[in-house]
Amino acid sequence: MSDTLFSKIINREIPADILYEDEDALAFADINPQAPVHFLVIPKKPIATINDIEEEDKAVVGHLYLVAAKLAKDMGFAEEGYRAVMNCNPYGGQTVYHLHLHVLAGKPMGWPPYQETLKTE
């Protein structure tokens, strides 16, 4: 996988507002927040998309959710709730091809994210 912006953040080649780091994961504020709280949790391993997750990545992908839940608790929004989502490929809205879990909080989230106008003939 080629180097993405997120590898550069892991390697401290570009700055980010880092909220959490351990051996396997990093969490940092999204540069273009879509909610009062918006950060990304990424694996240090460069996995491009959900489609590229392999058997050996199961633990690290699960770990991203544990990091999200820990930060939600530490930052005080676990109980009121939040959205944790991964976009995959163009139709999913993915723009950076290094796996990342968006964590959005601080206001009620809408659902569904997309509504088709159904034709009834």
Strands 82-85 and 101-105, sheet pairing = antiparallel
Q: Point out the catalytic residue in the list 38, 98, 100, 102.
A: 100
Instruction: Specify the residue, 75 or 88, whose C-beta has the smaller distance to ligand AMP.
Output: 88
Closest distance to ligand AMP from the beta carbon of 16 (Å): 5
Closest distance to ligand AMP from the beta carbon of 12 (Å): 12
Closest distance to ligand AMP from the beta carbon of 117 (Å): 25
Collapsing DSSP states into helix, strand and coil, what is residue 29? strand
Annotate 28-55 with b (16+ C-beta within 10 A) or e (fewer). bebeeeebebbbbbbbbbbbbbeeebee
What distance in Å separates the CA atoms of residue 14 and residue 3, rounded to the nearest whole number?
13
The verdict on whether 100 is a catalytic residue reads: yes
For binding to ligand AMP (CB under 6 A), which residues are involved?
A: 5, 16, 28, 30-32, 87, 93-96
Write out the catalytic residue numbers.
100
